[in-house]
Amino acid sequence: MGAIEGILTGFEVAFSWEGILFVLLGVFVGTFIGMLPGLGPISAIAIMIPITYGMDPTLALVMMAGVYYGAVFGGSTSSILLNAPGISGTVASSFDGYPMAQQGKAGKALAIAAISSFAGGTISVVLLMIFAPMLASVAISFGPPAYFALMLLGLTAIASLSEGSTIKALISAVVGFMIATIGIDPQTGTGRFTFGSMNLLDGIDFLVIALGLFAIAEVCYLVMNRHKTAAGSGKEIGSLKLSKDDAKEMSGPVGRQSLLGFILGILPGAGATIASFISYIAEKRIAKKPEEFGKGSVKGLAAPEASNNAATSGAFVPLLSLGIPGSGTTAVMLGAFLVLGLQPGPMLMGDRPEVFWGIIASMYIGNIFLLVLNLPLIPYIARILTIPRPLLISLVLMFSLIGVYAISFSVFDLYLLLAFGVIGFLMRMFAFPAPPFILAFILGGMMEKSFRQSMTISNGSISILFENNISLVLIILSVLSFAFPIANSIWSKKKAG
Amino acid sequence: MKKLLALLIFVLMFLAACGGENTSSNNDNANDEDTEENSGEDNDEWALSESIEIVAPAGAGGGWDTTARMSAQVLTEESLIDQDIGVVNKEGAGGAIGWAYMAEQEGSNHNLFVSSSPILLVPLNGQSEYGHEDFTPIANVIADYGAFAVAKDAKWDNLNELFEDMKEDPQSVTIVGTSAPGSMDHIQFVRFAKAAGVDITKIKYVSAPDAGGVTQVLNGSADVFSTGVAEVAEQVRADKLKVLAVTSEERLDGEVLSTFPTAKEQGIDETFVNWRGFFGPKDMDPAAVEYYENKFKELSDSEAFAEVRANYGWNEMYMGNEEYKQFLDEEKENLKSILEELGLLE
């Protein structure tokens, strides 16, 4: 069966009434789960596995895929409104989404997020459909040295993520790095910085840190400054409508970051979270007014939102065409394939085209449903902000606690959450930026892993990092990315002087 | 009015959060309600008087979790057990969090958990204070086997060629696996290398979590992928990888699987089983142990479970309480000596 025929079969499955029903069910559950901090698509899909046992495999998988990208779609809502990221892929969306909502433009922020998500999701599905069979080779082209170089490139942007003192941003990043080393070291199997506590053997969950540094710290801040900022309460939601200028401003980042997000999504291990951060940074780097980022910039919200949704579709490339799960969620989906009697792998497209193409085709419908489902709800959801502040603060606190507890049902994680909340609050008081911390944490773990893997493979020779074309190019880019702002500032000083 | 509506949405979200939490820890409740009525009357000497909790000492979706959930489902659907069975994930520290939780259930007759080789290896690595000795082995139900795979165009065609090269220079070959050094993927390879006479202290092993193993062998970063048979079968069928050996005693069943040679037939006298079974807490009532033993035997023999095994590529491997215990003791001694030689013993 040719690819065209396969695609048609896929659409047939996706457009059957059962197909539409299950996509709808999936994206609905996904949006909902995504909005709730802590609860993510992994647990939702794992719970679905026994329920779908015996179902038509295509429909079951179409639904699970819907939960996955639906959660990434919905996750931005709580990031924007409450500064409490719904899932790890939407942490970066709070950088500009939350300030925007605080400025009385919550409606607009949610609309931007929804439209960027929709565009990112749809653009990437088109790419997925056209290139999936060919992209399989991209997914495996990255060896440990290339991953190391990619993470290095991401890290060179720490300085650009900071407002004010670069030294403070670097200190923040170093602490993030240090926190990332806690837990069992995968290359030796020994525990590091666990202080003999079993609870730290797995390291600290990304969401615990993100919710602590953002949501809990914000709660502390609001409580401490309750009199000062009282004037801002009873907030406006603002209009949903995007002006022509907004639309124009969004189109660039959405187009670029959908592409970048998709490519990063294809790489196993990178995923939506890393994609959203890198896209945010990339967009800030090329922005004409980078100083607007972090203060409610349209571009700063559109970029990570387009990127994380695009990365989600990208993650289906290695899963469907190679049988390699690139993220926790796709690993669970791989399990679902097996239960349903399917073998995801290079043979899937030929053996079961209706499954392969059915899932891809259903994503078009899923993304449209998500937009239709989310846009009309925005005015209602955004009204959360009109809840009196004392009540809102307690609700954020409660959701964060429930969300963290739901990750691993561990009371210890709750203490960690509160500790990171206090750390986040202190950082804010003393003007240490939180984004470099979180960026270093997420990239640092992977960077260390790939560096150590490279060193094991090369028997300790550092030259392995420069022998591979991909890593060489990425390292050169990192050096440029690092040197350019320095050169630029020297240049402008000279000019001024 | 508007405020009320917003509050309502919030309350709904809260309820969903609680609901979600419940379902993930107790997903079978909903399905089981109809079977509740006919519980109670049981002709066995020891009868279940309350619902059972099965702990998967890992996150949702992994091997332990699926074993627990699929077993619970078949036990319920085939009416082998008429009480509710809840599956609870106690994730963390390679199982140690779940085992610590189970250690607190001492004497309980209604708490079970799923485990496999890590319950021997993790305590040996010094990362869990509890090992299999601290629990009651009830029954083993399934087995997986390992495989050593290389890229399609690799220079080795069988295990002996690989080991010949490794005997000359162990560091010229990179082994990749999903788990950390000292755990399963590493140890299974080391066991065979040792049997072949390779200097195992010099073996280069890279741990690649997040399914990086296949990728690394496919792109040439690493040479040999040490993993489970199921993980590579599809890649072999697609002509991307070739399997040098499987760790089972005899060749496996299945169109693709039966083409994989065993190490044994290549003259390397070693095997490795990734067994998986159920345990109870310490001091479980012997009558209860016997009850569960029989139930798991029925589960293992049922057609419904045979279908589950086939779907996941698991093999049947039933061992009752006594046999299981003896097997575990021997296996642990064996692993201990290997870890000692590698310097990984704590």
Give the burial class of A4: count Cβ atoms within 10 A of its Cβ; 0-12 exposed, 13-18 middle, 19 or more buried: exposed
pLDDT of A298: 93
In-domain check, residue A402? yes
Q: What is the average per-residue pLDDT within A204-221?
A: 89
**pTM tops 0.90, yes or no:** no
Give the chain A residue whose CA is nearest to the CA of B126.
A190
Is A186 in Cβ contact with B209 (below 8 Å)?
Answer: yes
Give the chain B residue whose CA is nearest to the CA of A396.
B10
Amino acid identity of residue A320, one-letter, is L
CA-based R_g, chain B, Å: 22
Is B240 in Cβ contact with A143 (below 8 Å)?
Answer: no
In-domain check, residue A497? no
Nearest-CA distance from A116 to chain B in Å? 24
Give the chain A residue whose CA is nearest to the CA of B312.
A338
Over residues A1-20, the pLDDT tens digits come to 567 888 888 888 888 999 99
**Segments making up each domain of chain B, as ranges:** 16-29+47-144+275-339, 145-273
In-domain check, residue A305? yes
pLDDT of A290: 83
pLDDT of B42: 44
| Residue B213: HSE in the Cβ half-sphere, 13 Å Cα cutoff | 26
Is B233 in Cβ contact with A403 (below 8 Å)?
Answer: no
Over residues A242-251, the pLDDT tens digits come to 888 888 889 9
Amino acid identity of residue A65, one-letter, is A
Is B209 in Cβ contact with A406 (below 8 Å)?
Answer: no
Between A184, A347, A380, which is nearest B9 by CB? Answer: A380
* Beta strand spans in chain B (E): 52-56, 85-89, 111-116, 135-151, 174-177, 204-207, 224-228, 241-246, 273-281, 315-319
- C-alpha separations of B60 from A319, A412, B56 in Å: 18, 19, 8
Is A140 in Cβ contact with B215 (below 8 Å)?
Answer: yes
Residues β-bridged to residue B86: B53
Q: A453, A458, A464, A465: which to substitute to probe chain B, counting the most B Cβ within 10 Å?
A: A453
Is B182 in Cβ contact with A186 (below 8 Å)?
Answer: no
Strands B111-116 and B273-281: antiparallel
Token output for A125: 């599905």
Per DSSP, helices labelled H in A36-187 are 41-52, 57-82, 93-100, 106-141, 144-155, 158-161, 166-180
Is A202 in Cβ contact with B206 (below 8 Å)?
Answer: no
Over residues A95-105, the pLDDT tens digits come to 999 999 888 88
Backbone torsions φ then ψ of B138, nearest 5 degrees: -100, -60
Chain A residue numbers touching B89 (CB-CB < 8 A): 408-409
pLDDT at B229 over 90: no
Same fold for the domain at B16-29+47-144+275-339 and the one at B145-273?
yes
In-domain check, residue A196? yes
| Residue B34: HSE in the Cβ half-sphere, 13 Å Cα cutoff | 4
Token output for B187: 């140890």
pLDDT at A324 over 50: yes
What mean pLDDT, rounded, does chain A reach?
86
Place of tokens 């209860």: B288
Over residues B320-340, the pLDDT tens digits come to 988 999 999 999 998 998 888
pLDDT of B39: 41
- DSSP secondary structure string for all residues of A161-211: H-SS-HHHHHHHHHHHHHHHT-EE-TTT--EES-TT-GGGTT---HHHHHI
Q: What is the average per-residue pLDDT within A249-256?
A: 92
Closest among A171, A71, A47 to B23, alpha carbons compared: A47
| Domain count of the fold of chain A | 1
- C-alpha separations of A81 from A95, A97, A101, B241, B340 in Å: 11, 8, 6, 49, 55
Dist CA A482 CA A465 (whole Å): 18
In-domain check, residue A493? no
Is the C-alpha dihedral spanning A183, A281, A72, A112 positive or negative? positive
Chain A residue numbers touching B232 (CB-CB < 8 A): none
Closest among A284, A285, A282, A308 to A297, alpha carbons compared: A284
pLDDT of B13: 52
| Homologous superfamily in CATH for domain B145-273 | Periplasmic binding protein-like II (3.40.190.10)
Over residues A168-203, the pLDDT tens digits come to 888 998 999 999 999 888 777 778 888 878 788 888
pLDDT of B40: 41
Give the chain A residue whose CA is nearest to the CA of B209.
A186
Nearest-CA distance from A451 to chain B in Å? 11
Is A47 in Cβ contact with B24 (below 8 Å)?
Answer: yes
CA-based R_g, chain A, Å: 22
What's CA B170's distance to the chain center, in Å? 29
What mean pLDDT, rounded, does chain B reach?
83
Closest among A483, A426, A465 to A217, alpha carbons compared: A426
Residue A376 banded pLDDT, cuts 50, 70, 90: confident
Token output for B48: 């279940």
Q: How many CB pairs under 8 A join A and B?
A: 215
pLDDT of A416: 94
Over residues B212-228, the pLDDT tens digits come to 788 899 888 999 999 98
pLDDT at B281 over 80: yes
Dist CA B313 CA B254 (whole Å): 9
Between B88, B219, B234, which is nearest A323 by CB? Answer: B234
In-domain check, residue A494? no
In-domain check, residue A341? yes
Q: Among A464-478, B32-46, B79-93, which stretch is predicted with the lowest mean pLDDT? A: B32-46
- A66: containing domain: 3-236+253-488
Q: Among B31-40, B88-97, B205-214, B248-257, which range has the highest average pLDDT?
A: B248-257
More reliable by pLDDT, A45 or A487: A45
- DSSP secondary structure string for all residues of B67-126: HHHHHHHHHHHTTS--S-EEEEE---GGGHHHHHHHHTTTT-SSEEEEEETHHHHHHHTT
Count of CB atoms situated within 10 Å of the CB of B312:
19
Q: B1, B2, B21, B335: which to substitute to probe chain A, counting the most A Cβ within 10 Å?
A: B21
What element of type H or E holds A292?
Answer: none
| DSSP annotation of B280 | E
What's CA B339's distance to the chain center, in Å? 20
Considering all CA atoms of chain B, what is the largest pairwise distance in Å, rounded to the nearest integer? Answer: 80
Give me the architecture of the B16-29+47-144+275-339 domain, per CATH: 3-Layer(aba) Sandwich (3.40)
Backbone torsions φ then ψ of A119, nearest 5 degrees: -65, -45
CB A201 within 8 A of CB A183: yes
pLDDT of A218: 87
Chain B residue numbers touching A33 (CB-CB < 8 A): 20
Is B13 in Cβ contact with A43 (below 8 Å)?
Answer: no
Is B17 in Cβ contact with A39 (below 8 Å)?
Answer: yes
CB A323 within 8 A of CB A345: yes
> Percent of chain A at pLDDT above 90?
30
Residue B25 banded pLDDT, cuts 50, 70, 90: very low
Dist CA A160 CA A281 (whole Å): 7
| DSSP annotation of B248 | S
In-domain check, residue A215? yes
Q: Among A123-127, A299-303, B212-216, B217-221, which stretch is predicted with the lowest mean pLDDT? A: B212-216
- C-alpha separations of A284 from A97, A291, A292, A304, B58 in Å: 15, 9, 9, 11, 39
First to last CA, chain B: 64
Is B69 in Cβ contact with A140 (below 8 Å)?
Answer: no
**3-state secondary structure at position B44:** coil
Amino acid identity of residue A398, one-letter, is M
